[in-house]
Chain A
Amino acid sequence: MEGTGTENIILICEDSMEGILTGIYEAYALRMPHDKISLQIGEEANFRLFTTYRKVVPEAVKAEKVMRTLKQRFWEKDYHDLFMALAAGDNRKAEAVYKTVVWGLSGKCKGSILAHMTDDAVRTVVELARRAGNELQRMREFLRFSEMENGILYALIGPKDNVLPMVTAHFADRLPMENFLIFDEVHNLYAIHPAGKEWFLMSGNVVEDKEDRTMEMSATEEYYQELFRGFCHSISIESRKNLKLQMNMLPLRFRPYMVEFQKK
């Protein structure tokens, strides 16, 4: 194309790990100065002048290639944080991860790239990774299973960031011999773990098409919920009561999903 030397290119990626990694692959494939290219998630409302917009179709092969390179060339902690940042529910993530990767692969920086927090892209990555990491920890803490009549454990969650895979990995390690099912209602994703087998993810649309039935809770479920509610009440010390502190530690948005805050 003529005039690409002066023009900026914006690659529009799908909001998924595969989409953004493919975007990074395509950005390198353009063989242009990286400051002329940026990555973006979703459509732009305000189109910019002198800019070409290109859609990137996610391709597993390309994403995997990028992933392999990152694994080889980055510190383990940095590699982990980059992927946590990709899970964040924030549109800045594609550009920030892309620019951080460019800097990391340029070889200009020794040691951990994410320690250089004076750089804007790096800082954004660290911030997003931290946010997604916190959300993951919150899910490990506040997720509540209830037992269904067929013995399956079911949990409903509503995380801001797409942390369901990490959450499921945690519970698969913890409850290897349980059949459990976690539904992320924000991202419309199911995680299914059959006892003693590998777990897998499923898009919500697929599951609903297959079967639409409501599950009943098991006979003892109500009993244990009630016991736990009582426990949470009696463990609190009246003369130290501090609802504000409780609110800081356990924000309201998590409470609808937790049995101890559900009034019977």
Chain B
Amino acid sequence: MEYLVSNEMTMMDKLQILSDAAKYDVACTSSGVDRKGNGRDMGNCLAGGICHSFSADGRCISLLKILFTNECIYDCKYCLNRRSNDIPRATFTPEEVCELTMQFYRRNYIEGLFLSSGIIQNPNYTMELIYRTIYLLRNRYRFNGYVHVKAIPGADPRLIQLTGYLADRMSVNLELPTAEGLKNLAPNKHRKTILKPMRQIQNGITENKNEIMLYRNAPRFVAGGQSTQMIIGATPENDFQIINVAENLYDKFSLKRVFYSAFVRVNEDKDLPALPGGPPLLREHRLYQADWLLRFYGFKAKELLSEDRPFFNVMLDPKEDWAVRHLEQFPVEINRAPYEMILRVPGIGVKSAMRIVNARRSASLDFNALKKIGVVLKRALYFITCNGRMMYHTKLEEDYIVRNLTADAKVKRQLGEDGMTYRQLSLFDDTTLAAQPTIVDSGKVLMGQM
């Protein structure tokens, strides 16, 4: 019966079903690998990655993100493709996936392929299908672009090893932050079987690095590193647990990225939380901010949160939150403080901190100079001094600073309909222009002076 259906399906239907089924996978980055073209085959990779489009939810479209099939023998409660759901099912053939990838790539629609899959028959069979597809893509279609594949937990380690030599990035989904949550919502999955391939890939990458040091032309194994993702808000874990898990993954499994996915209630199930306010997007946002602090700013999870304060502040971002609780370390003198300390000032990022450290070698910096080199002072001004001076007469008191930092957030909340506006990082800060006109201003308008 099902065979009949899938035979009648057009490519359009299949792509629609299988990209729709893959959309809750967050990892859509094409970064981490720098590979020049070889002058013959199609494709190259840029370390920074390339986003080719942005969908209506504002997420980037970088890879052709599809499932090989949305048939699944598992029955995870949070998943749209679970066995007990009555939804249209479809399966690609390896050739179809390759053809689609090549044609899209040629037209510069995508940066490569992201291939995941529901579990068909058993993990081994599924992994074999994935491997066959990637093998075909690399060897017959001679595709040299970016490939991200999922390692299926429970599959034969040899299959994962072989796939790793063809892929740029591999990932194993952690699904939920704790083993307990996994047991409740994904009865067929076990924490152990998830961590096993993760460890295997980690070891593979380390060994491969040693090989490459010895033999320059040794084949690359998962050159773009390994990532994972977990669903936030489907189970009752707190933020402290989640960032501890993330920190562990970075330290012990040397992951490149951990992705957080705000839980979207796609199934009706009594074990799933009701989310009247929609997916917990603000929480996801705060976790990503904290994730950045862990990876690039030298913070530790236990500095950001603790058992007594297990959740992030809704009003303040994690760095502001940390700073106002550690005022004894401020103000920071811009002209003398070490790079690591400048990095801890709210509102100053990696780029600004680098610029400060570089620029202060040739000239002493005052606030004007900071503005000129593109450092945004809106939040930083409460925490820094230039040659011993604060920018304004601000007090170094927790209440005072919090009030000022959040005053702006309130205005934003009134303006933006969802309470959050995401902005791409930019050098120049133009949100301060939204000042309300004063009575004098409106008078001037009436008099025709303005």
B368-419 at interface with A (beta carbon < 8 Å): 369, 372-374, 416, 418
- Within 8 Å by CB of B107, from A127, A145, A242, A250, lies A145
A174 with B100: CB separation less than 8 A: no
Say if the beta carbon of B12 comes within 8 Å of chain A.
yes
Say if the beta carbon of B40 comes within 8 Å of chain A.
yes
Question: What chain B residues lie within 8 Å of A258 (beta carbons)?
Answer: 53
A177 with B54: CB separation less than 8 A: no
A244 with B16: CB separation less than 8 A: no
B42 with A177: CB separation less than 8 A: yes
Say if the beta carbon of A236 comes within 8 Å of chain B.
yes
Given contacts A227-B12, A236-B23, contact A175 B106 (CB under 8 A): yes
Given contacts A242-B418, A249-B424, contact A144 B108 (CB under 8 A): yes
A214-264 at interface with B (beta carbon < 8 Å): 220, 224, 226-228, 230-246, 248-250, 258-260
B362 with A240: CB separation less than 8 A: no
Say if the beta carbon of A115 comes within 8 Å of chain B.
yes
A241 with B109: CB separation less than 8 A: no
The SS class assigned to the A binding surface is helix
- How far, in whole Å, are A245 and B93 apart by their CA atoms in the complex? 35
Residues of A within 8 A of B (CB): 109, 111-112, 115-118, 123, 127, 130, 137, 140-147, 153, 155, 171, 173-178, 220, 224, 226-228, 230-246, 248-250, 258-260
- Within 8 Å by CB of B60, from A111, A112, A249, lies A249
Say if the beta carbon of B195 comes within 8 Å of chain A.
no
A246 with B57: CB separation less than 8 A: yes
Residue from A137, A147, A250 having most chain B Cβ neighbours under 10 A: A250
B15 with A227: CB separation less than 8 A: yes
- Within 8 Å by CB of A140, from B50, B54, B264, B365, lies B50
> Within the complex, what minimum Cβ distance (angstroms) separates A41 from chain B?
24
B53 with A142: CB separation less than 8 A: yes
Q: How many residues of chain B have a CB within 8 Å of chain A?
A: 65
Q: List 15 A-B contacts (CB under 8 A).
A: A112-B358, A117-B359, A118-B359, A144-B108, A155-B108, A178-B106, A230-B16, A236-B23, A245-B58, A245-B422, A248-B58, A248-B422, A249-B51, A249-B424, A250-B54
B109 with A235: CB separation less than 8 A: no
Given contacts A118-B365, A239-B278, A241-B56, contact A144 B109 (CB under 8 A): yes
- How far, in whole Å, are A130 and B12 apart by their CA atoms in the complex? 40
- How far, in whole Å, are A137 and B48 apart by their CA atoms in the complex? 10
Of all chain B residues, the one with the shortest Cβ separation from A176 is B39
Say if the beta carbon of B65 comes within 8 Å of chain A.
yes
> Within the complex, what minimum Cβ distance (angstroms) separates A221 from chain B?
9
Of all chain B residues, the one with the shortest Cβ separation from A245 is B58
